Structure formats: C-alpha cells, structure tokens
Amino acid sequence: MNADRQSAWRAIRLTRATLPAGMADSRRLLYASSLEQAEQQFRAAASVGPESRPLNLFYGLSQAGRAIAAARTPDGQGISPVVSGHGLKVHEFDSLRPGGDIFDLHVRGEGGRNTSFGRLSWLTGSDNLQPEGVSLAAVWMMLPEVCLDFPIDGYHPTQFVDAHGDSFTLAVPNEDENAAALRVTYPQLQGAEMADGVSGYTGGGPGDGTPMRRFNLPDASRTLSNYRASSALMPACREGGGYLDPLLAWWVMLYALSMLARYRPVEWTRAIDVDKSPRAVWLEQLLDKALDAVPLQLHIALTDAHPSRR
C-alpha cells in the first residue's frame, strides 16, 4: 500500500479508539463499523481495474460518510446521526450516446439533511446542489490531482493560497480583475477585501509569472477549505452558486462514475477504453489518485481539521 495512503488510514483508525472531539460514546458502534467497511472497500478498490473501481471507491466513501455524520452531527437539535439514501442523482443519463462526453453529465441534490450528501453538505457548509446541480466538468476542475494535468477549458480550478492569520495571497492572472468578480468565481472570498497593488509574482522575480494579490479575510486559514492540509479556494459550482468542500467534490465525482459503471456499463467501458477514448487516461489517473487523496480528506472531515491547526 502507498505510504501516504497507509498513513491516512492509520490516522483514521486511531480515531476509532479515541473518538473525535465532542462525539457521544453512544455513536461509537456506528462510527467504527462504518469506517471498517469504508477501509475494506478502499482496499478492494486498489486490487481491481477501472472497470469496477468506481463502485468500491464510492461505496467506501459512502460508508465513511456515515461515520462523518456520526462524528459531527450535533447533539440536542433533534437530528439523528443516522443518514439514509445518497441524496444525489445523475441527470442526462438517457441522452448519453456512444461517443458522448461523460463530463457533460450533471449531478443534482435530492432530499434533505437526512440523506448522506444532504447531511455532509450541511455539516461542511457546501452547496447542496438543489435545485440546480453541477456538471462533471466543473467538478473535475475542483480536483487538482487531475485538472492540473488535464484541464477542461471554460471552468475555474481550485486555487491553493498562502494563508496567514487574517490574510492570504492569491494568484490572479488578470491583475486588474476586481474583488467583486473574483467573489462570483470563488464564493469563499465573500467578506474578503483585496489590498491595492500587486504583492508579488509566482515566478522567481518581479514581473515573472502570475501576479499575486493580497486579501484580508477574518480567520482566513479557517474560512478557507483544507485541501490535503493546504488552504484552498474552491470554485463556485455555477455562476452565483456556492462551493463544494473538497471531500464532497470527490463525493460527487465518484458517485457519478459509480452510477455509470453500475447502470451504464457499456458507456463506462467505452469511456475507459484507452485505444478509443481521449478521456480514458484522465479517468485512470482520477481513479488512481482517489485511492490516496480521499482517505486524507476523510480524516480532515472526521476531525474538522484546518491547516492552521496542523
């Protein structure tokens, strides 16, 4: 097993004896059994090819979601820690034809806080994808593990930022772009003030690379997302919409791919055919990276960790 993957699962396993802070002991059995099934599904995923790997990955993630709900659903609000149903649906399945691009598919939220996705979107402050959903192309650009190698034009990527206390710097390709426009692209910039002038460049010297702009945002390191232990800005799901927590970006992608693999196996087989599909290698990389990236995000979600508290 990959060392990073092994470390992530070890950290998750440690929480089963020493429960996450604030979690009631009465939820221990639900928490532990869900995580055991999640880990076994991910181990199974590592041993199979892309034909069926999305199934193991998503159902492992789904079981881990039950543990997150057990750990983070607050007491005293009349809300059960038990969730039921996926809370998502893939649209445009019926219009998917041979040679069609699976990244044109949309995923929408269905149901309330008692579904798995509904509960986690509530707990993480994510867009619940209701009534409008999100395209798989947009979700793809939320996952740096793949979009940096295989970008899709027309969508904004997740941006890693250097956050310190109440401020952070962000690479802004158009240095004249104002804060209002950026807030539409990155909803977590709501409440942030952009300082005047350029504060540096991504390259080695003045004027080399992309301009960096400084933003002031109260408790920036906690307000921003924790993506694999780094502060990040997640792009809007759609213009005027909210954002997805990094774990839920993986959730939506793996849910959609698992539905394809399970219910549309012909289309899925075509999509991963490296001799015919231009997206096949992209999807292979996604499924490989998920084995390492998702367990780390699971640990972050279970412990409500933020980069400032590493």
* Number of neighbours of residue 145 by Cβ within 10 angstroms: 18
Q: Which helix (H) or strand (E) holds 134?
A: strand 134-135
pLDDT of amino acid 9: 97
Residues 118-173 have pLDDT tens digits of 999 999 999 999 999 999 999 999 999 999 999 999 999 999 988 888 888 888 87
For residue 210, CA distances in Å to 143, 169, 175, 230, 280 come to 21, 12, 8, 20, 31
- DSSP letter for each residue of 37-84: HHHHHHHHHHTS-TTTHHHHHHHHHHHHHHHHHHHHSPTTSS--S---
Other CB atoms within 10 A of residue 51 CB: 12
In this predicted structure, what is the pLDDT of residue 309? 38
Give residue 1's pLDDT band: very low, low, confident or very high (50, 70, 90): low
Token digits for 107? Answer: 């995923």
Q: What is the pLDDT of residues 236-291, one digit of tens each?
A: 999 889 999 999 999 999 999 999 999 999 999 999 999 999 999 999 999 999 99
pLDDT per residue as tens digits for the range 57-111: 999 999 999 999 999 999 888 899 999 999 999 987 777 766 668 999 999 999 9
Does residue 299 surpass a pLDDT of 60?
A: yes
Q: Is 210 helix (H, G, I), strand (E, B) or coil?
A: coil
CB 246 within 8 A of CB 295: no
- Alpha-carbon distance of 201 to 249, in angstroms, equals 29
For residue 308, pLDDT beyond 60: no
pLDDT (average), residues 187-198: 87
Global pTM value: 0.93
Cβ–Cβ under 8 Å, residues 282 and 150:
yes
Residues 110, 133: Cα–Cα separation, whole Å: 10
Closest by CA position to 54, among listed 252, 276, 274, 301: 252
Asked if 135 and 142 touch (Cβ cutoff 8 Å), the reply is no
Residue-wise pLDDT for 17-30, tens only, equals 999 998 999 999 99
Taking the C-alpha atoms of residue 168 and residue 308, their distance in angstroms, rounded to an integer, is 12
Question: What average pLDDT does the structure give for the chain?
Answer: 91
Residues 6+ apart with CB under 8 A from 88: 107, 108, 109, 110, 115, 117, 129, 252, 255
Instruction: Count the neighbouring beta carbons within 10 Å of the beta carbon of residue 17.
Output: 8
The pLDDT of residue 307 is above 60: no
pLDDT of res. 310: 33
